[in-house]
Structure 1
Amino acid sequence: MSNLTKNQLDSHWMPYSGNREFKRDPRIIASADGCYYKDNHGRKIFDGLSGLWTCGLGHNVESINEAVSNQVRTLDYSPAFQFGHEKSFLLAEKITEFMPSGLNRIFFTGSGSESVDTALKVARAYWRKKGHGTKTKFIGRVKGYHGAGISGFSVGGIPANRTLYGQGLDAYHLPDTQAPGTEFTKGMSEIGSDRANALLDLITLHDASNIAAVIVEPMSGSAGVIVPPQGYLKRLREICDQHNILLIFDEVITAFGRMGANSGAEAFGVTPDIITMAKQVTNGIIPMGAVAFKQEIYDTFMEHGGHDYMLELPHGYTYSAHPIACAAGLASLSELQEQQLPQRIKDMSGYWEEAVHSLRSSSDCITDIRNYGLAAGITLSALNGQPARRPYEVAMDMWAKGFYVRYGGDTIQIAPPFITERSEIDSLINALGESFSTL
């Protein structure tokens, strides 16, 4: 039992949680180190999702702890507007080392949701600066996730995240990339690249003169690790180029190593015009997000910004480039480079792929397994018309066994820390196999 009182538990309206279920039997995390949590009973829990796709370096990383501690004592906060501090410029340059060539102008936010909002606002403003003020519509994708803000749910395509809230931004959606016959594909499927051509139908319907940008995740994480088919992202890039539409990659999950590369753009060989990011930039130790823009977008605002003292872009957040977050980001990204963790994941991905696909025979309830880099999604069939029931039961059984995995919709999602050893992968997969076998 938790030491928290009922009133204390009831006071917190928890995000993306079944509050009623949780508060009947709270799952309280007390501490973390390396690849493991400890709960309030002292049980060791393997972190099978790197926090929330955030802690690839593991927990309690000394170099990040020290950087944050030193920054708190030196400069705890600096005004984000019209004044600066050195670490924001150092971190911006460091981030560009992970980005594709040309995406070298970094705008800081406080989260992935804010990063998406920033990218969409800038896309609209960019076209107005270019004299194309009618380009205001956005195109997202079914099963895409782009944060919790109004703009994010508008371009997002997960029904449960949309239906409660009514009208959002003027946005339309491409079909998802899960083509029939691609179940249990290892890595990228050879089937489905033609689904990108649905963008042509949307352009025909709405006209390119009205469309500001297309936004997709290179790999859809929150919908259950949906991997792009071979050639799909390249085709999106071609269509956007042909019709003068910006292409945005939401890399809040895929940036900084998870795909076995510095970015999803690098992993899949396609360069967008804008990349959103968050999560791994600080290893989850403190909230931070960022957006990388190609230089031409930045230059357009500078060239049409009026007098030098005027604001070229009237946009930003109180916590943009927070000094403590910048210190954490510099330490986190330095660790990724020094330990060569993107390459480690690339080297580990074959072992991971075979391990997760070995689960196929664990249960007839498993209808699909998908993987890329150090991430995997497992789809389970509905129980009595309840798609989310079996994933919930598996996740609770795994928690009882000492493993944290994510359950969302009809999927189980796993993405352990980058520092995970093969023996720990084996333990995670064996435990999942046991849980699936009871379905």
Structure 2
Amino acid sequence: MRTPAPGGSLAPADLERLRAGQALQMDHYGGGRLPFVSLQARGLVQHMVPLEGESAGQVLEVLDASGGYASACLGAAHPCLQPAFREGLERGYVTDELGSLERTLLLEELFGPGGRWADRFPGGEYHASGRNSGSEGLELALRLVLESGFDRRRLTAKVGREARRTVLAFEGAWHGWTGGLVPLLNRRHYRLGLPLPGTEPPFGLDVAFLPFGEAALLERFFAEQGSKLSAVIVEPIQGDAGILVPPPGYLRRLAALCREHDVLLVADEVLTFAKTGRFFAMTDEEGPIPTDVTVIGKSLGMGAVSTSMVIARRELTVRPSGAVSTSDLRPLTCALMRSGLRYLAEERLIERAGALGTELRERLRRDVVEAFPALFQEVRGQGYMNGVELTERASHGLSRLRQRLLEAGVFVEFMAGAGRRSHGLRYLFPAMRVAPPLIANDEDLRRIVERIREGTRRFVEAGP
């Protein structure tokens, strides 16, 4: 298929071929899938064509402000990954049953003496496992929690842990669609009609929910229910809820409460990893906030592979063969991670995202929120992980707004919002997520905001 330059048009037969290909893929959006196709990409720039409307088949230049569900931190076709593909393939395809040179090099670089993350996760105290996706990583984290209270010899709950059957999660959280994780989501739409794990003692799992970031409610819950808790699972910044940033001190106090009450703390950093101006969002002015299990993903695969990593205290394990995985840190995946992480560190892209993210939020506030107060309420975030909350009026036209933004040359995603929350807290509407790849510089961010503003203007002028 010949790919024209932006402004050109596909041949009619090529356009029909793309429509047919789109129809062959299962639609996960209930008919709301975007009618656009990406033809090619490099860096932040994607060449897309609309499949419908007057401009169907015309090639558009689109700036990516989403990074593929926030996974492509290096954008598309980054040159630092190309040698890693070759080297990783030449290392073989060994599974977790065998050791691997490439796996050794990666883990040594991260957790060995002087390793990149050894101050947070020293190798003598933590070990790591790889999975295909963030959801799979969080399933393993939940397995580690459950196994920590299980006596494998007697095949029953450990003495003294029988009453600890509750996991604390947070309203509006997103941890994944898989069966073990659905109970951790408080929204009925995600749970009803699906089979849930049994709740019969002594092995059942109960889940309690609190609004995120409310310190007084957290203190009261631990005072009343701490003895029944086995674990807390938390996103340090809530993603699907609309990029909710907790108040200063909240996460450190949560970690302290977990230690005081002998409760495991699981940090879901699948989305926040490498986005907030630091590798890990479980960090404050005092330094790393301790966790028992941390799950990272998305950016870890550099946009080239889907992968995740579970980093857990060494005493947390599973029964023999209970966590075997075909794709546990295979050589190719390790080579890509190692090359990408080294590039991020050497170019100081993580740190740059902290400072530039502050400027990005200011531009979004001034040029988007204040310019269109009937459509947007506020901007929130850290680093390159930012959300612009919609008003109720705008949320009803979300799909049309997104299409206008694409036509204006910018690709963003929209988060569901936390919706109706307990304890009288205000309703949280969907939010536009602006999470560009880390390679985006100041000029790129300026152009992204300009195109968001232009797409919003077109949406307003088009009317209902």
**Structure 1 and Structure 2 fold alike (TM over 0.5):** yes
The equivalent of 2:46 in structure 1 is 37
Whole-angstrom distance in 2 between the partners of 1:14 and 1:93: 42
Matches within 5 A, 1:393-408: 393-408=400-415
> Aligned match of 2:386 in 361, 371, 376?
376
Q: CA deviation at 1:7?
A: 5.4
SS at match of 1:297: coil
1:332–1:275 CA distance, 2 compared to 1 (3 A): same
SS at match of 1:290: strand
> Aligned match of 1:153 in 182, 186, 194?
182
> Aligned match of 1:366 in 376, 382, 393?
376
Q: Counterpart amino acid of 1:246?
A: L
The equivalent of 1:266 in structure 2 is 283
SS at match of 1:107: strand
The equivalent of 1:88 in structure 2 is 103
The equivalent of 1:126 in structure 2 is 148
What are the Cα deviations for residues 289-315 of structure 1, in whole angstroms up to 9, with x where unaligned? 1111123436xx7xxx8xxxxx3x621
Q: Are 2:340 and 1:332 equivalent residues in the alignment? A: yes
Cα pair 2:413 2:432 within 8 Å, conserved? yes
The equivalent of 1:181 in structure 2 is none
Cα pair 1:30 1:39 within 8 Å, conserved? yes
Whole-angstrom distance in 2 between the partners of 1:356 and 1:76: 46
1:33–1:267 CA distance, 2 compared to 1 (3 A): farther
Count of equivalent residues: 400
1:422–1:429 CA distance, 2 compared to 1 (3 A): same
Per the normalisation by structure 1, the TM-score is 0.84
Q: Are 2:259 and 1:237 equivalent residues in the alignment? A: no
Cα pair 2:88 2:102 within 8 Å, conserved? no
Whole-angstrom distance in 1 between the partners of 2:103 and 2:211: 38
Q: Are 2:254 and 1:246 equivalent residues in the alignment? A: no
Segments of structure 1 that go 5 or more residues without pairing to the other structure are 178-191, 306-310
The equivalent of 1:57 in structure 2 is 74
Q: Which runs of 4+ in 1 moved over 6 A?
A: none
Q: CA deviation at 1:53?
A: 0.9
What are the Cα deviations for residues 256-275 of structure 1, in whole angstroms up to 9, with x where unaligned? x2110121123574221110
Q: CA deviation at 1:382?
A: 2.4
Cα pair 1:123 1:213 within 8 Å, conserved? yes
Q: CA deviation at 1:31?
A: 1.6
Whole-angstrom distance in 2 between the partners of 1:62 and 1:136: 48
Whole-angstrom distance in 1 between the partners of 2:300 and 2:362: 29
Q: CA deviation at 1:392?
A: 2.2
Q: Counterpart amino acid of 1:141?
A: F
The equivalent of 2:358 in structure 1 is 350
1:325–1:350 CA distance, 2 compared to 1 (3 A): same
Q: Are 2:72 and 1:79 equivalent residues in the alignment? A: no
Q: Counterpart amino acid of 2:412?
A: V
CA RMSD, 1 decimal: 2.5
The equivalent of 1:110 in structure 2 is 132
Per the normalisation by structure 2, the TM-score is 0.79
- The more displaced of 390-399 and 139-148 is 390-399
Cα pair 1:356 1:376 within 8 Å, conserved? no
Q: CA deviation at 1:347?
A: 2.5
The equivalent of 1:436 in structure 2 is 456
More helix by share: 1
Identity over aligned pairs, percent:
20
Cα pair 1:282 1:288 within 8 Å, conserved? yes
Q: CA deviation at 1:75?
A: 4.1
Q: CA deviation at 1:330?
A: 1.0
Q: CA deviation at 1:377?
A: 0.8
Q: CA deviation at 1:414?
A: 0.6
Q: Are 2:215 and 1:193 equivalent residues in the alignment? A: yes
Matches within 5 A, 1:197-236: 197-200=219-222, 204-205=224-225, 208=227, 210-236=228-254
Q: Counterpart amino acid of 1:35?
A: L
1:43–1:142 CA distance, 2 compared to 1 (3 A): same
What are the Cα deviations for residues 72-106 of structure 1, in whole angstroms up to 9, with x where unaligned? 2x2452233x2222212222233432362446311
Q: Counterpart amino acid of 1:65?
A: Q
Whole-angstrom distance in 2 between the partners of 1:378 and 1:371: 9
Whole-angstrom distance in 1 between the partners of 2:284 and 2:447: 28
Q: CA deviation at 1:11?
A: 2.8
Q: CA deviation at 1:62?
A: 1.3
Cα pair 1:142 1:174 within 8 Å, conserved? yes
Q: Are 2:171 and 1:142 equivalent residues in the alignment? A: yes
1:419–1:411 CA distance, 2 compared to 1 (3 A): same
1:381–1:51 CA distance, 2 compared to 1 (3 A): same
SS at match of 2:148: helix
Segments of structure 2 that go 5 or more residues without pairing to the other structure are 1-11, 50-57, 152-157, 198-204, 417-429
1:139–1:4 CA distance, 2 compared to 1 (3 A): farther
Whole-angstrom distance in 2 between the partners of 1:170 and 1:377: 31
